Structure formats: structure tokens, C-alpha cells
Amino acid sequence: MFDTIHHIAIIGSDYDKSKHFYVDLLGFEIIRENYRKERDDCKIDLACGEQEIELFIIKDAPARVNYPEALGLRHLAFKVKSVDDTVKELNTKGIATESVRLDDYTGKKMTFFHDPDNLPLEIHE
């Protein structure tokens, strides 16, 4: 019934910071970008392999509950060839990462970092 994930939607609060983080630092390519006057927000569609990330910029969105964790989407994880190499690249760009650890179930390397609005993002081999 379901083939693959079409897109993931992320809400950011600051247009310049979010766009810089996802496009300039993480390297996602912009597919399209639109200002939605009726909602007074921006929507930036980003390419992520065959999937898309919909990056909504909503100025007055409520803060995300992170700790303690709440019901709903826990985090977004990206598959990478090398966690160690990706961590080095993220750190070079000023993005702090947690310590690299092994996934208890797969035995593969993984770690977390956060976007400008503190959304937890994971990289996983």
C-alpha cells in the first residue's frame, strides 16, 4: 500500500537561519520556494534524495517539546555513508554534534545534532 516516504515537513521560526542551516550548511537543494500570503508563512521544498523536505517558516509557531519527550514524531534521521566523516564536516561548519555511538540493535554508528529551532536530527550509517 505504501511505497516510500514522499516528504517530511519541518517548521522553523526564522527564515534566514533555517534556510542557511538546511541549504548552505547541510547542502539540501531548493526545488521551489513560495510565500503564502493567506498564512503569512514561507514554504521551501528541499530535495533529499528521492524524498523532499518541506521547510515551513512560521514566525509564531509554538516551541517544540523536546525534553521530556512528547507524543509525535521523535526525530528525523538521515542515512550517511560515514558518520565520522559527516560529524567532521558538520563540526567544521559550526554545528555541534553529540558523541558518536553504536546503535544497540544494528551495531552501526549514529549520532544527533539539532537545527536552529532545536529539532533533533540524526545521522546513521
Output the CATH code of domain 74-125.
3.10.180.10
> How wide is the angle at C-alpha 18 spanned by C-alphas 124 and 108, nearest 5°?
5
pTM for the full model? 0.88
Q: Exposed e or buried b for every residue in 91-108, given b needs 16+ CB within 10 A?
A: eeeebebeeeeeeeeeee
The model's pLDDT over 63-96, given as tens digits with 9 standing for 90+, comes to: 877 777 777 778 899 999 999 999 999 999 999 9
What pLDDT score was predicted for residue 71?
Answer: 75
30: left (phi over 0), alpha (psi -120 to 50) or beta: beta
Indicate the domain borders of the chain. 1-61, 74-125
pLDDT at 72: 77
What's the CATH superfamily of 1-61?
2,3-Dihydroxybiphenyl 1,2-Dioxygenase, domain 1 (3.10.180.10)
Considering the chain, what is the average pLDDT of its residues? 93
Task: Please tell me if the domain spanning 1-61 has the same topology as the one spanning 74-125.
Answer: yes
